[in-house]
């Protein structure tokens, strides 16, 4: 439903020289395009062609007048030079990393040889490393049980050791985030979707929020179990939230390298800011309503099907109240010049009827409370929909659903470590909600999946994905121990350092260098994968030196 945009004017042919009029133009290859050719006299539609052009292809649209009396025109699309296979660099990179993985597997087989293993363990001393990283966080003891039944629980871990699957999941989300932030090889599916829909880049932030909620549950239960008072724990929550918000403001305003931050153009929202505020709300709610036995999984549940709901019923009431607020503001708040409940991108979207309504109520609230100069100036909607209004994907209204996402993650330890079995009902219910809200379509649903808005359907869909992926990683890493979690485990242990580091040093060598061909996917992919791999190596070295930056 985009408004037609002027592309190029084709001059008339020179009749005496029989030389056709020509014009050259570059077009987008991400989506199918509709080319509409209008005559210069009377603006009459001559022909319309819909085509999905290939990357670096060369095409000609040949227009001929068949009959001057009837003004019949023919339009033929000719492929002068076929498009390239832009996915070959991805295949090559995949083979390279598979080769590295094969080498590591061979190395692991050598580790099964006693002399080799003893020598390596003596050099690395992994027990000391494990002792250090388990000093603050831990998982509930597997001897705890909901019913006191001494029989082993399904998919239980065997000790109080920190769950490697959580750090692996966090590290996986973080590494994908680093890769897409560095450019993702300039592939469209490694960039954020312009508005409705999902790409790979849209998956990682909600996953990070989800696992943050899981970590909140484990860390609070660990601190309370070790005798910390709620007052002391609350102080730590407030301090950690403050540091996250402060670091976020510094990171998203890179002119700190040029001098003092200027308030005139200071961006207030951001990723770390939203994480900090979400952490504050979810952790405070969990601390406020925590009862004896909930952190160790010893509460008796009258209804097994509701074991993931009943322990959190006060929090559920408050979270649902927040969701009601989100719905009311999104669909009932009057926005000047915009239809009530508008969820579109503005710009040339919706046939250009609402050019200044980007994000509807969400964008309006940010511009009203924060000011246009203090939010993100280059939203992803500007690429396709040519929006001119600033819009922040980490704005105020979307934070409500981020809190909901973290709260869903907070309940995961109860599923894995307390209830005695895996209860899928809650997450299956969320999947049904997603299907209803979206009508299983990208654009036609009641509330489409939208990362910019952090819509409810986006949260329910991402929580389903996150739960299934975490379940798989938990089974492979902590239950069957078929995978150590490497290499994602290492950046997961130093997530704050890796995230801030990759933002601060983004434009410095060796994370970035001048390329010979700025249009080459191969060069971009090489640079982005090299930078991402360097952060994995850095996190691995920090892990081996027992250096962990915690807030």
297/143 Cα distance (integer angstroms): 10
What string of H, E and C letters represents the secondary structure of 455-468? CHHHHHHHHHHHHH
Of 52, 192, 502, 524, catalytic: 192
Q: What are 73's strand-pairing partners?
A: 65
> What count of other Cβ atoms lies within 10 Å of the Cβ of residue 523?
17
Residue in this structure with the two tokens 């990683």, named with its chain if needed: 473
Asked if 524 is an active-site residue, the reply is no
d(CA 396, CA 355): 22
Judge contact between 482 and 473, C-beta under 8 A.
no
For the residues of 352-385, what is the DSSP string, one character each?
GT-TT-TTTHHHHHHHHHT-GGGS-SS-THHHHS
SS3 content of the chain, % helix, strand, coil (to 5): 50, 5, 40
Alpha carbon 308 to chain centroid distance?
26
Antiparallel, parallel or unpaired: β 33-38 and 72-81: unpaired
Contacts of 104 (CB under 8 A, 6+ apart): 486
- Backbone φ and ψ of 98, nearest 5°: -65, -35
**Alpha-carbon span 183 to 138, nearest angstrom:** 36
List residues with catalytic annotation: 192
């Amino acid at each position: 439903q985009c408004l037609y945009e002027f592309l190029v004017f084709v001059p008339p042919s020179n009749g005496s020289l029989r030389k056709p009029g020509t014009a050259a133009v570059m077009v987008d290859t991400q989506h199918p395009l509709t080319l509409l050719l209008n005559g210069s006299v009377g603006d009459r539609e001559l022909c319309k062609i819909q085509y999905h052009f290939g990357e670096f292809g060369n095409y000609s649209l040949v227009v001929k007048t068949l009959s001057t009396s009837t003004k019949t025109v023919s339009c033929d699309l000719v492929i002068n030079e076929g498009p390239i296979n832009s996915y070959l660099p991805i295949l090559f990179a995949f083979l390279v990393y598979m080769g590295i993985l094969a080498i590591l597997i061979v190395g692991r087989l050598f580790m099964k040889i006693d002399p080799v293993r003893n020598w390596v363990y003596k050099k690395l001393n992994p027990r000391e490393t494990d002792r250090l990283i388990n000093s603050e966080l831990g998982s509930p003891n597997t001897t705890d049980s909901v019913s006191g039944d001494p029989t082993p629980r399904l998919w239980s871990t065997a000790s109080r050791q920190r769950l490697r699957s959580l750090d692996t999941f966090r590290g996986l989300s973080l590494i994908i985030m680093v890769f897409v932030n560095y450019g993702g090889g300039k592939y469209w599916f490694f960039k954020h979707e312009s508005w409705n829909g999902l790409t790979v880049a849209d998956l990682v932030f909600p996953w990070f929020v989800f696992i943050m909620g899981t970590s909140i549950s484990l860390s609070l239960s660990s601190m309370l179990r070790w005798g910390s008072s709620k007052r002391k724990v609350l102080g730590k929550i407030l301090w950690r939230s403050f540091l996250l918000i402060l670091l976020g403001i510094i990171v998203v305003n890179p002119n700190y390298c040029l001098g003092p931050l200027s308030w005139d153009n200071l961006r207030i929202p951001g990723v770390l800011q939203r994480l900090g505020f979400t952490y504050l709300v979810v952790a405070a709610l969990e601390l406020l309503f925590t009862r004896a036995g909930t952190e160790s999984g010893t509460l008796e549940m009258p209804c097994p099907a509701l074991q993931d709901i009943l322990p959190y019923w006060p929090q559920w009431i408050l979270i649902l109240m927040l969701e009601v607020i989100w719905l009311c503001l999104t669909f009932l708040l009057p926005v000047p010049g915009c239809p009530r409940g508008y969820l579109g991108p503005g710009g040339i979207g919706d046939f250009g009827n609402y050019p200044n309504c980007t994000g509807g109520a969400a964008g309006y609230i940010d511009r009203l409370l924060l000011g246009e100069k203090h939010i993100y100036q280059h939203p992803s909607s500007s690429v396709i929909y040519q929006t001119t209004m600033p819009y922040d994907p980490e704005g105020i209204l979307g934070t409500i659903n981020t809190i909901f996402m973290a709260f869903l993650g907070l309940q995961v330890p109860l599923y894995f470590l307390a209830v005695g079995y895996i209860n899928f009902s809650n997450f299956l219910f969320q999947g049904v909600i997603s299907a209803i809200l979206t009508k299983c379509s990208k654009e036609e649903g009641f509330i489409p999946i939208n990362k910019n808005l952090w819509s409810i359907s986006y949260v329910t869909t991402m929580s389903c994905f996150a739960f299934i992926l975490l379940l798989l990683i938990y089974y492979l890493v902590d239950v069957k121990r078929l995978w150590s979690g490497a290499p994602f485990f290492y950046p997961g242990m130093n997530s704050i350092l890796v995230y801030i580091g990759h933002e601060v040093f983004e434009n410095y060598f060796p994370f970035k260098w001048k390329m010979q061909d700025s249009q080459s996917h191969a060069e971009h992919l090489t640079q982005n994968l090299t930078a991402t791999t360097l952060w994995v190596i850095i996190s691995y070295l920090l892990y081996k030196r027992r250096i962990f930056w915690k807030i």
